[in-house]
Chains A and B, each alone.
Chain A
Amino acid sequence: MRKSFIVVIFLLLILAWMTLYNLVDDWGRLEGGWENLTTFVSESMWPPNWSVIEAQSYPVCEKDIEFFCSVGYLGMIETLKIAFVSTILGFIGALCLSSFAARNLMPMYVALPFRLILSATRSLPSLIWAILFVIVIGFGPLAGVLAMTFYTVGYLGKLQYETFEGMPSDALEVSKAMGLSHATTFTSVVIPETGNHLLSQLMFMFEYNVRHGTVIGIVGAGGIGYYINTYLKFLQYDKVLALLIIIFVVVVLIDLLSLMVRSFVNDEGDVRRPTWLKAMLKVYRNRRSATEE
């Protein structure tokens, strides 16, 4: 078993190498690539320019703390708002569609059209959705919200119906035998049973939308991407690097938040591990009571 696994991996690697060899016609381009990169980073990007977290010269800042008038803060907050709204709307939309797309909840003739709708929404990347909505309703965050909502519906919908299909069948069978309606089965059996996965997917999607919020901003759909695009145009790569670091920090914070939120609903949450402090206190108390005796 292990031997055949290694052979398969080896064959896949050879196949990937052959495909790459077929794709690339000029390997000479690799020459001097590392040197170019180090020159670019050291001369144009490094050190990051932290003026992006200082107040902009226009409009005049009326807040006590300058940071709240900075490009980094305003851009990031707008991206977070776009990501938040589109994740919530997309999550609810996806739940409605995926409850009809799961084969263990609906017969195939009902599930198939809903799967097609979800595939269609997912097949366009959020960037293309953003370009479409910028054309339809113009520049600004609304285009961003709509673009990411549509993409979220398609992406989360698929994750959700696959989660529903993977849940244990016994509770569903009882619901079916008892004659519970589709709505009751979905809200009272399916959602509680898959809640942890759904929450995890929701947090993942929020993080994904924050990262992609930067990309769709580049085509004019609002958020921090708008500023990144502006700095790229003026070759201010040190400011771009500072904004990328801000995005990285926010994504890490969202990941930590996700970990915390999920701990409330998973099985591990039932068992509280003793902290080092509590363990030390216990040893101290045991010793003290032993000496007193």
Chain B
Amino acid sequence: MKQDKALLVLENLSIGYSGVLASEINARVDPGEVIAVLGPSGIGKTTLVRTIAGLVEPIKGDVELNVEKQGGLGYIPQKLGLVRHASVYHNVNLGARASLPLLKGGSEERRKRVNSALVALGIEEKTTEPVRRLSGGQLRRVATARALAQRPSLLLADEFLSELDHYTVDVVIAAVKELLDTGTSIIMVEHHEENVALLATRVWLIQDEKLLDFSIDEWERIGPGIQLDHRLGGEEE
């Protein structure tokens, strides 16, 4: 049962840079949903996420985002977007500051959020460490902790579970579930089907310049066949 107020509505959207990657995209995201965006490399998954984040202008159509302007939208890009020369605490605190700006007070609440995010991701002992000294897995934990401290209404996560060992995936997924409990919706670009099954409630498949929207039950029924097609796909985005 869909609620009246969707967090995100995509209407007749065409995305791309110099050329169109996908067009006539019509979709919506309701509170509490986890959308997995699938498709071969170079098909436009990252471009779709960047368009929703307001970092790329749509070629055509509208992106209607019904979240708070400050801190309502969270973003974990492929490169994670961490401040390399600052500490782990500083980076996680940026998330808390997005939804609880300094001028509006709430420093105690910010500190609480940051500390609990650090503990949830198991990086509480790295608090003062500069981010540039961390390993790849630890960096992903910091980026997830930033989102956890922010508690956005909608989180855009671009391949944030890739290149992680099983233990770290478990830790990050546990933290993401904690985030879902706070009412966050997630749009995640993902390649691994086992991660999709763990989190997603819906699947958006981008294929042949179109976005196909499946419920997770539909996807589990017909997904494996479609997957075979898109594994043949193109170049890096």
A residues touching B (Cβ–Cβ < 8 Å)?
168, 170-181, 184, 188-189, 192-193, 195-196, 265, 267, 270
Contact = CB atoms under 8 A, between A and B. Distances in A.
B177 interface: no
Contacts of B16: none
Contacts of A188: 83, 86, 90, 94, 97
B53 A173 contact: yes
Given A173-B53, A177-B156, A178-B150, A195 B75 contact: no
A192 B90 contact: yes
Given A267-B132, A270-B133, A180 B84 contact: no
Contact of A177 (B54, B79, B101): B54
Interface in B40-90: 50, 53-55, 68-77, 79-86, 90
Interface in B156-177: 156
B94 A178 contact: yes
Contacts, number: 80
Nearest to B103: A181
Interface of B: 50, 53-55, 68-77, 79-86, 90, 94-95, 97-98, 101-102, 130, 132-133, 150, 152, 156
B100 to A, nearest CB: 12
B53 A177 contact: yes
A192 B85 contact: yes
B73 A179 contact: yes
Given A177-B156, A178-B98, A171 B69 contact: no
Contacts of B132: 267, 270
Contacts of B102: 184
A173 B77 contact: yes
A177 to B, nearest CB: 4
